[in-house]
Amino acid sequence: MKMIIVAAGQGTRLRPLTNDKPKCMVKYNNKPIINYILETASECNLEKIAIVNGYKKEVLESYLQDKLLTFFTNKEFDKTNMVSTLFNAKEFMDDDIIISYADIIYKKEILEQLIVSEDEFSVVIDKEWKDLWSLRMENPLEDAETLKVLDGKIIELGKKPKSYDEIEGQYIGLMKISKSAIKKVITYYESLNKDKPYDEQDYNNMYMTSLIQMIIDNVMDVKPIWIEGGWIEIDCVEDMKMYNQKGIKF
């Protein structure tokens, strides 16, 4: 089993903290976000880890030079989005693959649940998402996305919800694709029309949820891994201030 950490973005909402380093090196409780992720992976015996970098790549690679990691680079990090970044590591995708965003911190138990999943495509979904969203914003519904499950399979995610009834949980940026499924996912992604918009984004700026939805509709079942909290997303300076005020630790 392998792990890919997607860490190419500029983290503009965390400036000035990201003026001289990538988002994943911003510290939470005096420890860089990337350290939390790598330590949790190590506790779960994940040793084959790749990081797809971009913004301030030299800073990140220098910081992690003593780690046994594989690096890939999205040279167009300032013009592309998460999906495009991920597939810069295509050659690394020859086993079961855990995919993690680089701006989230999560407990070991969450990663353990994902690792033992035997489904082709598994996505971590937080049932208690509203507790976290309520800390970060006045109206959680404005920032949330739809998540609907039927017969144990995700049937919709990533759309703008009209009510809380359309939200059974929230996707946190952590998933697993099995070795048997990864070639299907790569082939499907590369077969998409590069001149067509996807949820109002061009091919290179496609949202991860858009790709997952198309995989659900056209390729294979995607199953939820249900959790109840135990993670945070660090997207802006206000997030960190709020988490610190609430004493959230990992």
Confidence of residue 136 (pLDDT cuts 50, 70, 90): confident
Q: List the CATH number of the domain containing 94.
A: 3.90.550.10
% of the chain surpassing 90 pLDDT: 88
Q: How confident is the model at residue 135 (pLDDT cuts 50, 70, 90)?
A: confident
Residue 137 has pLDDT above 90, yes or no: no
With respect to residue 250, please indicate whether it lies within any of the assigned structural domains: no
Asked if residue 156 belongs to a domain, the reply is: yes
243/230 Cα distance (integer angstroms): 13
- Over residues 198-205, the mean pLDDT reads 95
Domain that holds residue 134: 2-245
Q: pTM of the full predicted structure?
A: 0.95
Question: Of the ranges 41-45, 48-52, 136-140, which one carries the lowest mean pLDDT score?
Answer: 136-140
Give the orientation angle of helix 208-218 with respect to helix 179-191, to 10 degrees. Answer: 100
Name the band, by pLDDT with cuts 50, 70 and 90, for residue 51. very high
Percent of the chain with pLDDT over 70: 100
Separation CA 192–CA 167 (nearest Å): 28
Nearest 5°: phi and psi at 197?
A: -80, 150
Residue 23 has pLDDT above 90, yes or no: yes
pLDDT exceeds cutoff 90 at 250: no
Over residues 65-76, the pLDDT tens digits come to 988 999 999 999
Please report, in angstroms and rounded to a whole number, the separation of the first and last CA atoms in the chain.
24
Write out pLDDT tens, residues 79-112. 999 999 999 999 999 999 999 999 999 999 999 9
Task: Provide the number of structural domains found in the chain.
Answer: 1
Q: What is the average pLDDT score of the chain?
A: 95
For residue 164, report the phi and psi dihedrals to the nearest 5 degrees.
Answer: -65, -20
- In this prediction, residue 4 carries a pLDDT of 98
Per-residue pLDDT band at 145 (split at 50, 70, 90) = very high
Residue 34, C-beta contacts closer than 8 angstroms, at least 6 positions apart? 5, 7, 24, 25, 51, 60, 63, 64, 102
Per-residue confidence (pLDDT) for residue 138, from 0 to 100:
84
Listed residue (123, 132, 127, 182) closest to 155, CA to CA: 123
Using DSSP's 3-state secondary structure scheme, residue 19 falls into coil
